[in-house]
Structure 1
Amino acid sequence: MKRRAEASLAPLHETKRHCDDSSSDEESRLSRQDSSQNDSLSDQEDHRPGFSMPSVSSLDSQDTDTTTQNSSKFSMYNSVSQKLMAKMGFREGEGLGKFGQGRKEIVEASTQRGRRGLGLTLQGFQGELNIDWQDEPEQLSIVPIPSAVEKVEWFPECTTEFPDADELRDWMTVGDRKLKIEDETEFCTEDLLHTLLRCKTVFDDLEGEEMRRARTRSNPYETIRGGIFLNRAAMKMANLDHCFDYMFTNPKDAHGKSLTKDREGELLYFGDVCAGPGGFSEYVLWKRRWHAKGFGMTLKGPCDFKLEDFYAAPSELFEPYYGEGGVDGDGDITRPENVTAFRNFILESTERRGLHFLMADGGFSVEGQENIQEILSKQLLLCQFLTALSTLRTGGHFVCKTFDLFTRFSVGLVYLLYLCFDRISLFKPVTSRPANSERYIVCRGLKPGSDAVREYMFRINLKLNKLRNTDRDVTDVVPLSIIKEDTDFYQYMVNSNESLCAVQIKALAKIHAFVVEPTLSEPRQADIRKECLKLWGVPDKARVTPASSDPKSKFYELVKNSDVESFQCKVTPLNSSTLDKLRHILDHRCIVGGGEQIFLLALGKSQIYTWDGKMPLRWRKLENFKLELPRDTLLSVEIVQELKGEVRGRIKKMKNHFCFFFLNDTHMSRIQMTEKFVKAVAKPSRPDMNPIRVKEVYRLEEMEKIFVRLEMKVTKSSGGVPRLSYTGRDDRHFLPTGLYIIKTVNEPWTMAYSKNSKMKFFFNKTTKKSTYEMPPNSAAPFHVCHSERLFWAWVDGVIVHDSQTRMDPEKLSKNDVLSFIHQNYQP
């Protein structure tokens, strides 16, 4: 008889060592590496049927039912398969082999999982979970999803007064170190907790790659991934920011007024801790650009910030600081000296006011101990909370990743934040995988007077460090009786734990089903991704490396339709014949010059080019300066030699520094904008970088203030002869070359002073209309400011200081200019 073969439906199985979702997610690992590449590969995996040669067995009986069944099974395969099998001697209802002794049944699909020995059966995984994951909430069956699903629920408002330091000291309890979670049922029912632990345990022996691929297929929100950002953490922040009414990127006061957007010179100050490679910060800087300034602390090494991978946002506006030692520190947030150093640095960098908000996203691998991740992460959670209370300004906000919150220690920490903020919420965004334990605590509006709680948390951390590597531990930070007596807080805590626990159980059961049946898929992923990104205002585009450009092309791109010739206009000398151009005194501002004005063009980081304003247009690389600026930045600057202090009667020469005049923008007060920009790009923690200053701008009618700040000083290069010196902010000096006088009011508007109302007003010379409010088109654009500027050179023969005696009657001196100003402006 002819030989026969039967087809097998054995699928191609993926293999990878398993990690519990609550700790194996790339976003919660210490390295914070994104899994998008692995996930995209798994989406493309081929699950077509394969063939398997049957094993030899004794001759089976061939009754009619068997023949019919085999015929039915054989008809499942396509004609090519049938022809191949027929050539091998296959006949329906008969076995292969010379005497038809081969098996007639279809070879069962292999249940082999991973790279284990052939025939190994995992009883734990093969066992039934007895959980119906298919009765998921209706939220997952419609698009758009998040607008209807992601409802924010706040803890009830706390009315309890702050405990004093003595009372807080009595709250801390030290006991035996505990490394189990099964009996933590004060804030979750025993049934739910044990079911969750059982669901997690089912995956203990499964290869991680199988788990990951099943998770990718089962999660409706999985393909959102990182989008245009460097990882999924950035998209989580976009998700959270939207759900909480943009309280992070556009914080508002109690009356709903923006704290930064409605205040032209106000930067948005934020912090990002335990957050390498920096996805949270990339989102914030993408949203606010140079209107924000970020500070970050995270572990040095492979977990560090990867600012060079900020493709969507300008990383030059972010300043890493690693605690004690500054840029040379280790970034370990559990070290008390690092928290203190980071706090001091933030206060020094924000005029002692603190941050508008702090983000924290700490986590580390707990492979093999996933069920006690909460216990292992307790000190990390504490220190993130402590850093928030240490760096936020009154009214500031806080968002921090947490995991399970079953223990009295964790719930006690949440209660302390409940005391310190106006409102808090526990929230799991849709971008956080439903099968893991991750959730976020969001805190709105830091109350004044939280110092006692901050100092208490600081002491707790000291105690934890002292008890490290012993069998003792801090078990409670708030007495359980106090938590339970606050019934509103207690009930919210229990409800939150149980609802998130139920979601996680169902998600784990769903992944289990997707591992068992590789043909299952979630068909809504593409639509959900599209709708979510649209809702959060994030472009549905792939992440791409910023396009490179040459400075000349970039310059023409930035100036667009501006008159390029206005950039090369020579400055008009101020003398007796041009003095009348200043007749409208209130239309002008003045700046003390100290060097040649040039243009800077930045293409990102240290790719900075200079142009002297002369044709032909030639941009040259900035040499011998260490400076970083955001890409697509065009500035008018002056490079000045800065002098500071005196040694034996002489001024000590310091580094050159940049004095910024204007940015190529007309949408707001240019002076305020320049100051804001310089604050954003300054790096006070980097003494190796050239300092950046903002030129002090004076009203023309207040010119006398400038002369008060002029002194005669001896410098190293003056040969012992005193030279004219201008003293600016912070006792810094430079040798002035003269005074730039710039027209800042645009035609046909002019400014004047009303003697009746004793107020300044704007007057339109064409329409003859007046207004006290600044008209939107009254601010002179850059090309007007630059082309109509005058320069009063303080050369030999020009007297601007009382000690000077040689006067040139052909040149204007201080008294001439002041007399002209007083004649034309008499308020």
Structure 2
Amino acid sequence: MSNCSESYRQSDYEQMCSYGGDDGNEQDGESSENYESNENEEEYQESLPNKRARFDNYSDYQFGKHSINENDNTNESKPCSSQGKAARIMAKSGYQPGKGLGKHGQGIVEPVKASEQKGRSGFGFVPRDYKDEITIDPEKEKISVFEQAFWLENRYSEDDILSTEQLKDWLKIGPEKLNIDDEVHFCNPTVLHDVLEAKFELGNVNDVTKIRGRCNPFETIGKGIFLNRAAMKMANMNRVFDFMFTDPKDKEGKNIVQEQDLLYFADVCAGPGGFSEYIFYKKKWRAKGFGFTLANENDFELEKFFAGPSETFEPHYGFVPQDAERGDGDIFKAENIESFSSFVLANTDGEGVHLMMADGGFQVNEKSIQEIVSKQLYLCQCLVALRIIRTNGNFVVKLFDIFTPFSVGLIYLMYRCFDRISIHKPNSSRPGNSERYLICQYKKENCTDLIDHLMKVNEILCKRFETKKDVLELVPLDVLKGDETFFEYIYESNNRIGERQVHHLKNIVIYANRTDLVDSRQEKFQRECLEYWDIPNEARTDPNKGEPHSKIRELFSNRTSEIDSLNTKPKKIPNFGALKEEIKSELNWYWEVVGNGDNDGKLSLYLGLGRNNVYRLENQRWNKVKDNSNFKLPGGTLVYGELVDEYVVNSNNIRAQYRRTAFHIVDGLFLGGEDIRRKQITDRIKLCSLFAKALRKSNMIYRAKKLYNFTEMPRVLPAALQRRKLKSNKNVIGFVIDKDQFIVPEGILCFCGTSEGWCLYKSKQHVGHLYYYNRSDESTVWQNEASERYEKAARPWNSFRECYEKRLALWIDDRTLNDLLESYPSQ
């Protein structure tokens, strides 16, 4: 397959567009959607050339590097002593004041008037007058904060699957087409004509950014607390579509993501990451994200995620070439699509994501061909979605114009792969551009043939500048029009969005000539929209990470006794025999194996202030962890854990063995600000396990310790304690933590999970069930129901503090290890 990036440099598109990266943008005279740090047109135009990936051959001229400064007075006429001489020369040529030159005085009398044109308008341009065509009273426009979603239901049966043969027969290939003037199959011809004409007129308007600020009723909403306006658009659409992106429900209305689950999502062609920031704002650490975008210049800016934590987000850039640190993130390359898809599936237990978001866009100078330039981007984003979204998952992707059979055919194919689709332009999307979003809900199971087909189509598109052959149709016109429900939906959607776009573009032209006009509803809409979207009406601020002592006081609400309890040391048990004597009722006690000894210092409490601002409690002082730069914890995290060496082995080749640093959570207090201290120890460990799963990345392993009941020791130890040989030829006893992975055990920590006055028993009638028994009043409660029944003062289980203060530690030496092996010999 040819290199798509190289192919683009050979294309005619060089003269028409510049690639704004996977950041996404809004066109038609408006700045890029995700370049929200630009507060005015000048800053935007200054920054844009540095953010392009490919097409910048003409950028110097497009952005005025060689333009004439209207304030440059170097060429102004100045008084000159030679003016009298010039007059004499003119007189000799027959010049008479008040008359023209020439034999018959036919020359012009008045001097040529200096040009008054400014900005992008051409010499002699006269703007069209829209005064008679449009109402300029903003109060008369019918705009609602409460938007309506229009769904198109898939009426095809589950057995009606698109086959490879059918898809291949549908494909139409021919010479590339570089205009859409005649693409009137899926809209009213007048709408298309008016859209193209209005875009042309806008190209001659100066200071569009300032004018838009006056005439767009939703402009002052801006980006709010987020990185950019893309995040606010996601908040807008999430509310309109009943929070289907952050709280998806099945067809019966039940939650798809349960309390013990993570919300898996992918953010594709989406740097710097506004969509993801919104998801983390809503879900905190309970969302696990995978990012794919152009590396470097259009990359994710995770350090600027102020509204939500980014520690559970992992960017991926596709196939890594030899001698490279990472891929390039080019979604057009088949090897990148394959690599990213495999990565996502491997990290979601083979299921895929619940949600994929795509926000790719080109920076197009010739706005009438925006749709044509974006066709391969449309296709590749949809292709990745079909590969990585799990069954019944959801998809949202940004589109621009959808007038061509190619674009409509692609939407049709997505319509056939999901239970229903919607095309929506949210209020937060500027009405003067062509942007809209395709929302797809409940992905169907069997899409394999279509995935393979679209991979081949993408290969054709990558080679089209060499072969001079383009893909014109994915689905024949007669098929698209034959599905009347689908056709009418697209037709009506294009007309509705197009008419609104034309209206606003005309408004911009009028506002350009009427500086007195301002949409007075902006403040009202800003307040009402943010309230409806459940977003605070506040300015974006960099969260103050603070210092560890103040954060601890904040987490514990200044309760000194609880803070002081963090310094409690475990009770040391001299040998295994003494440990068994200490444990009166085995069912009430739990144990974990640790890989750090009593004096190592790495087994301690860890406090996260966000990113790699992690502190460890050492001798009653909080010291910053510098062991591993990849070790990060969300702000507001406090856990008992250890940084430990894990050994990954290959039973067939000892030389393939390697060691890596991992973070093991022993127990938890706060997970990303979520207080879990008063839950049962078994429930706390389950949440810590989910937390570690969300944090786990390719360059840093997180896991929660396996919590064993004391009654399981005879079963677990013989299987888990195994003799191993390290790469250094040193023989050790390893404790297996996972398949082909072990740690060298240094101790066993024991925790009492049952509160004073209570005891845990096995049910004789209900096998596998446990219940708490109160010795004083003889009351009982099932263990799995206790959390819902008991208040804080009466709970039958120990909180974190009680477990921590009463913990026992059996530090392992050769003698202790021999005692364990003798007590529980391998079977």
- What's the secondary structure of 1:775's corresponding residue? helix
- Structure 1 559/619 Cα, relative in aligned 2: closer, same or farther at 3 Å? farther
Instruction: Report the counterpart of residue 198 of structure 2 in structure 1.
Output: 199
- What's the secondary structure of 1:563's corresponding residue? helix
Which stretch shows the higher mean deviation, 339-348 or 729-738?
729-738
**Structure 1 counterpart of 2:743, one-letter code:** F
The partner residue of 2:125 within 122, 125, 130 is 122
Instruction: Report the counterpart of residue 469 of structure 2 in structure 1.
Output: 472
1:404-415 maps to which residues of 2 (within 5 A)? 404-415=401-412
- Structure 1 111/432 Cα, relative in aligned 2: closer, same or farther at 3 Å? farther
Please tell me the root mean square deviation across aligned C-alpha atoms, in Å. 2.9
d(CA) in 1 for partners of 2:418, 2:342: 22
- Give the drift of 1:586: 2.9
Alignment check: 8 A CA contact 2:120 2:204 kept: no
1:574-585 maps to which residues of 2 (within 5 A)? 574=573, 579=580, 582-585=583-586
d(CA) in 2 for partners of 1:136, 1:490: 33
Alignment check: 8 A CA contact 1:421 1:444 kept: yes
- Give the drift of 1:154: 0.4
- What's the secondary structure of 1:350's corresponding residue? coil
Alignment check: 8 A CA contact 1:268 1:356 kept: yes
- Structure 1 508/788 Cα, relative in aligned 2: closer, same or farther at 3 Å? same
Instruction: Report the counterpart of residue 388 of structure 1 in structure 2.
Output: 385
Which stretch shows the higher mean deviation, 627-636 or 481-490?
627-636
- Structure 1 287/40 Cα, relative in aligned 2: closer, same or farther at 3 Å? farther
Instruction: Report the counterpart of residue 487 of structure 1 in structure 2.
Output: 484
d(CA) in 1 for partners of 2:440, 2:756: 49
Identity %: 35
1:85-124 maps to which residues of 2 (within 5 A)? 114-115=118-119, 121-123=124-126
**Structure 2 counterpart of 1:169, one-letter code:** K
The partner residue of 1:284 within 279, 284, 287 is 279
Instruction: Report the counterpart of residue 33 of structure 1 in structure 2.
Output: 35
**Structure 2 counterpart of 1:593, one-letter code:** V
- Give the drift of 1:739: 1.9
Instruction: Report the counterpart of residue 798 of structure 2 in structure 1.
Output: 780
Alignment check: 8 A CA contact 2:130 2:506 kept: no
CA-to-partner distance for each residue in 1:142-163, whole Å, 9 max, x for gaps? xxx422xx10110133315112
Instruction: Report the counterpart of residue 460 of structure 1 in structure 2.
Output: 457
1:339-358 maps to which residues of 2 (within 5 A)? 339-358=337-356
- Structure 1 493/329 Cα, relative in aligned 2: closer, same or farther at 3 Å? same
- Structure 1 189/130 Cα, relative in aligned 2: closer, same or farther at 3 Å? farther
d(CA) in 2 for partners of 1:126, 1:479: 39
- Structure 1 183/699 Cα, relative in aligned 2: closer, same or farther at 3 Å? same
2:269 counterpart of 1:274:
yes
2:778 counterpart of 1:768:
yes
- Structure 1 641/484 Cα, relative in aligned 2: closer, same or farther at 3 Å? same
d(CA) in 2 for partners of 1:137, 1:743: 68
CA-to-partner distance for each residue in 1:212-244, whole Å, 9 max, x for gaps? 211111111001110000110000000011111
Instruction: Report the counterpart of residue 601 of structure 1 in structure 2.
Output: 607
d(CA) in 2 for partners of 1:397, 1:547: 35
2:665 counterpart of 1:660:
yes
- Give the drift of 1:131: 2.5
2:717 counterpart of 1:706:
yes
CA-to-partner distance for each residue in 1:482-512, whole Å, 9 max, x for gaps? 1111111111110111111111111112112
Instruction: Report the counterpart of residue 789 of structure 1 in structure 2.
Output: 807
d(CA) in 2 for partners of 1:662, 1:799: 24
Instruction: Report the counterpart of residue 90 of structure 1 in structure 2.
Output: none
The partner residue of 2:416 within 410, 415, 419 is 419
- Structure 1 220/624 Cα, relative in aligned 2: closer, same or farther at 3 Å? closer
Instruction: Report the counterpart of residue 536 of structure 2 in structure 1.
Output: 539
Alignment check: 8 A CA contact 2:594 2:746 kept: yes
- What's the secondary structure of 1:712's corresponding residue? strand
Instruction: Report the counterpart of residue 218 of structure 2 in structure 1.
Output: 221
Alignment check: 8 A CA contact 2:668 2:685 kept: no
Alignment check: 8 A CA contact 1:417 1:443 kept: yes
Instruction: Report the counterpart of residue 818 of structure 1 in structure 2.
Output: none
1:675-686 maps to which residues of 2 (within 5 A)? 675-684=689-698, 686=699
Instruction: Report the counterpart of residue 307 of structure 2 in structure 1.
Output: 312
Instruction: Report the counterpart of residue 589 of structure 1 in structure 2.
Output: 590
d(CA) in 2 for partners of 1:132, 1:25: 21
Instruction: Report the counterpart of residue 57 of structure 2 in structure 1.
Output: none
Alignment check: 8 A CA contact 2:545 2:610 kept: no
d(CA) in 2 for partners of 1:750, 1:133: 77
- What's the secondary structure of 1:590's corresponding residue? strand
CA-to-partner distance for each residue in 1:170-223, whole Å, 9 max, x for gaps? 11110121111111010011112112211111122222x2x2211111111001
- Structure 1 763/405 Cα, relative in aligned 2: closer, same or farther at 3 Å? same
CA-to-partner distance for each residue in 1:546-601, whole Å, 9 max, x for gaps? 21412222222223336123212221234656645533433322111221421222
d(CA) in 1 for partners of 2:180, 2:596: 68
Alignment check: 8 A CA contact 2:434 2:501 kept: yes
Instruction: Report the counterpart of residue 672 of structure 1 in structure 2.
Output: 686
Alignment check: 8 A CA contact 1:651 1:714 kept: no
- Give the drift of 1:138: 6.4
Instruction: Report the counterpart of residue 740 of structure 2 in structure 1.
Output: 731
- What's the secondary structure of 1:302's corresponding residue? helix
- What's the secondary structure of 2:151's corresponding residue? coil
- Structure 1 113/746 Cα, relative in aligned 2: closer, same or farther at 3 Å? farther
1:192-271 maps to which residues of 2 (within 5 A)? 192-207=191-206, 209=207, 211-260=208-257, 262-264=258-260, 266-271=261-266
d(CA) in 2 for partners of 1:334, 1:296: 16
- Structure 1 164/585 Cα, relative in aligned 2: closer, same or farther at 3 Å? same
Alignment check: 8 A CA contact 1:651 1:715 kept: no
- Structure 1 711/335 Cα, relative in aligned 2: closer, same or farther at 3 Å? same
- Structure 1 334/746 Cα, relative in aligned 2: closer, same or farther at 3 Å? farther
1:355-374 maps to which residues of 2 (within 5 A)? 355-367=353-365, 369-374=366-371
Aligned residues: 700
- Give the drift of 1:39: 7.9
- Give the drift of 1:24: 4.2
- Give the drift of 1:766: 5.0
Alignment check: 8 A CA contact 1:424 1:441 kept: yes
d(CA) in 2 for partners of 1:405, 1:716: 60
**Structure 1 counterpart of 2:276, one-letter code:** S
- Give the drift of 1:398: 0.2
- What's the secondary structure of 1:406's corresponding residue? coil
Find the structure with the greater CA-based Rg.
Answer: 1
Alignment check: 8 A CA contact 1:321 1:331 kept: yes
- What's the secondary structure of 2:392's corresponding residue? strand
- Give the drift of 1:648: 8.0
Instruction: Report the counterpart of residue 328 of structure 2 in structure 1.
Output: 330
Alignment check: 8 A CA contact 1:762 1:774 kept: no
- Structure 1 522/342 Cα, relative in aligned 2: closer, same or farther at 3 Å? same
2:695 counterpart of 1:697:
no
d(CA) in 1 for partners of 2:188, 2:398: 23
* TM, length-normalised to structure 1: 0.80
d(CA) in 2 for partners of 1:751, 1:40: 70
CA-to-partner distance for each residue in 1:681-714, whole Å, 9 max, x for gaps? 2211x3xxx4333322222222222322112234
CA-to-partner distance for each residue in 1:464-485, whole Å, 9 max, x for gaps? 1121355321000011111111
- Structure 1 317/328 Cα, relative in aligned 2: closer, same or farther at 3 Å? same
2:448 counterpart of 1:451:
yes
Alignment check: 8 A CA contact 2:27 2:434 kept: yes
- Give the drift of 1:41: 11
d(CA) in 1 for partners of 2:306, 2:138: 37
Instruction: Report the counterpart of residue 632 of structure 2 in structure 1.
Output: 628
Alignment check: 8 A CA contact 2:309 2:635 kept: yes
Alignment check: 8 A CA contact 1:571 1:789 kept: yes
